[in-house]
Structures are given as structure tokens and as C-alpha cells.
Amino acid sequence: MSENKVLEFYKQFRKNKSALIGLYIVAILILCALLAPVLAPYDPLIQNLGNRLIPPFWAEGGSFAHILGTDDFGRDLLSRIIYGARISLMIGVVSVGISLFFGLIMGACAGYFGGKVDIIIMRIVDIMLSIPAILLAIVIVSILGPDLMNAMIAIGIVGVPTFARIVRASVLAEKEKEYVVASRINGSGNFRLISKVILPNCTTPIIVQATMGFASAVLEAAGLSFLGLGAQPPTPEWGAMLADSLQFITTASWMIVFPGIAIFLTVMGFNLVGDGLMDVLDPKMKDR
């Protein structure tokens, strides 16, 4: 992408104020993930029972030493939330990467070859889509075992059908166009046509879905961890933090509020960026 195109893209993107807010949220999330050892005032795993259940600094009994308070093991809540941003980004990258990899292969093969290949692949996709995503993820994690990596694999598998359908539709729309026909006449094989000619022209919906997929992955991972099927203690993952703090909902509400806000802002940020990308990258949306 040339410098002029990048500048034009940014100008279009910044017109969408909500998308710009989402971009700032995502930027802060990435910054927290990259600089977690610098930004976090304490080690998120070290326990100090002498400091357990200290409220946020503005509440009675609070302390500036622990701005957002501490949990029932005396661990600094701000530090755990900052390190949780690193885990959330990892969840998004791994899960979306798995979904994108297999979704690209299945969708491209179904759209390009058609016939029986299309029927078989799309029936598999339909079966997967007929099962609620969180239920399918629970089944997969139950088979693999409760673990953060297994949860990411499950979330990635659950997201494959969505990518497959999007890629298939894009390939169907592109494969009969003149540039593809010309490339075929010039002797390009099926693999080259799919990977070098067709797929590079199908990037817009894929990029948008990948951005939205980040939000879904973070939310689903938090749900699995909340159920005890994702990240295991003492991992500072936001969903696991919510599960650990349920018994203190009335006595130490900050233990639930702040991880919940972190999940909300992250999901909202990626969704807003996805909406903004759709407006900018989709020509039909530009004319509205």
C-alpha cells in the first residue's frame, strides 16, 4: 500500500469518531500488553495476605499503594488487569489465527472448485454453525482438557465456519472476473490462481471479520475461564478473575467491577474498529 493510500485510508477512518475511539482503546490495550512489566507496579502472581481485600484508593480504607485495590490473596488488582491485557491479545492472535488459517483453506476450496467439494465443506460448516458457539467450545475444551491453550484452540475452531463462509462468498464473486480468466489462460495453475490472484482481492471482508473475531475471542475466552474451562489460577486472565471474585460480590465488589470493565472496553474497542474498517474498506459503505 502506497503512502498516499495509507494517508487517504487514515483520513477516511478518522471521520468515524466511534471507530477512532475504538482505535484508541485497542492502542492502549496493545501498549499495556507490550509494557506490562514496566507499567504494572507489582508482580501479578505474588501473594501478600497482609494486604488482602484492600479497596480502591478513593474508597474508605483504600491506599495509593494499590490504586484499584487488592484481591483475596493480597495481589494488586491493577497489575493483574494490565497483565491480563497481554493474555487477551495472545488469545485473540492465536484464536483468530487458527480460524483464519482453516477458514481460508476451506472457503477458498469450496468457492473455487465448487461441485462436490463445495457441498461437503459447506455441509460441515452448516453442522458447526447449527451448534451454539459457546456450547461447541465447551465440548471441545472438555475433550482436550481445561487449559488456556486448549481454550484458544477451541475458540479458533468455533470461528472457522464464519471465515469459511466469508471467504467462499468472496471467491465466488471474484473467480469469474476477467483478470482471473486472463491469468488462467496464461497458464496459472489452481494453487497460484487461488493464493496469488483471487485471495489478495478478497482481503476487505477478511480483515473486518478478523478484527471482529478478536472481540469474540476475548469474550468467549473470558466465558470459558469463568466456567473453569479456560485459564487456571493464578493466571491473571480477566474471566478467571471474575470467577474467583464471585464470593466477594457484596464485600469486595471492585474485584468484579474492574475485570468486567476491562473485558467490556476490549470487546467494544475491537468492534468499533471493525465497524470503522468496514465503512472505509467497503466501497458500498463509502457512498452512503
For residue 15, tell me if it sits in a domain: no
For residue 59, tell me if it sits in a domain: no
For residue 270, tell me if it sits in a domain: yes
- 148 pLDDT exceeds 60? yes
Measured CA to CA in angstroms, residue 69 lies from 66, 72, 123, 138 at distances of 5, 10, 51, 32
How many domains are there within the chain?
Answer: 1
Give the residue numbers spanning the domain of 125: 35-44+65-286
pLDDT band, very low/low/confident/very high, at 286 (cuts 50, 70, 90):
very low
3-state helix, strand, coil in the chain (%, to 5): 75, 0, 25
pLDDT band, very low/low/confident/very high, at 265 (cuts 50, 70, 90):
very high
For residue 26, tell me if it sits in a domain: no
C-alpha cell at 277: 474498517
Interatomic CA distance for residues 104 and 167, integer angstroms:
6
Interatomic CA distance for residues 140 and 176, integer angstroms:
38
Lowest mean pLDDT among 7-16, 135-144, 225-234, 258-267: 7-16
Interatomic CA distance for residues 110 and 189, integer angstroms:
17
pLDDT band, very low/low/confident/very high, at 3 (cuts 50, 70, 90):
low
- 2 pLDDT exceeds 80? no
Query: Which residue, among 79, 97, 160, has the nearest Cα to 125 in the 3D structure?
Result: 160
C-alpha cell at 268: 467494544
For residue 39, tell me if it sits in a domain: yes
- 95 pLDDT exceeds 90? yes
Q: Are 55 and 61 in contact (CB under 8 A)?
A: yes
**In this structure, which amino acid lies at residue 110?**
A
- 39 pLDDT exceeds 90? yes
pLDDT band, very low/low/confident/very high, at 287 (cuts 50, 70, 90):
very low
**Residues 196-224: tens digit of each pLDDT:** 889 988 888 999 999 999 999 999 999 99
pLDDT band, very low/low/confident/very high, at 125 (cuts 50, 70, 90):
very high
For residue 137, tell me if it sits in a domain: yes
Interatomic CA distance for residues 105 and 126, integer angstroms:
16
CATH number at residue 258: 1.10.3720.10
pLDDT band, very low/low/confident/very high, at 118 (cuts 50, 70, 90):
very high
Q: Are 198 and 112 in contact (CB under 8 A)?
A: yes
For residue 163, tell me if it sits in a domain: yes
% residues pLDDT > 90 (the chain): 69
Q: Are 103 and 213 in contact (CB under 8 A)?
A: no
pLDDT band, very low/low/confident/very high, at 288 (cuts 50, 70, 90):
very low
- 285 pLDDT exceeds 90? no
For residue 218, tell me if it sits in a domain: yes
pLDDT band, very low/low/confident/very high, at 185 (cuts 50, 70, 90):
confident
pTM of the predicted structure, to 2 decimals: 0.90
**Burial tier of 118 (Cβ tally within 10 Å: 0-12, 13-18, 19+):** middle
Interatomic CA distance for residues 124 and 213, integer angstroms:
20
**Residues 12-32: tens digit of each pLDDT:** 788 888 999 999 999 999 999
- 283 pLDDT exceeds 70? no
> What is the model's pLDDT at position 34?
94
% residues pLDDT > 70 (the chain): 95
> What is the model's pLDDT at position 16?
83
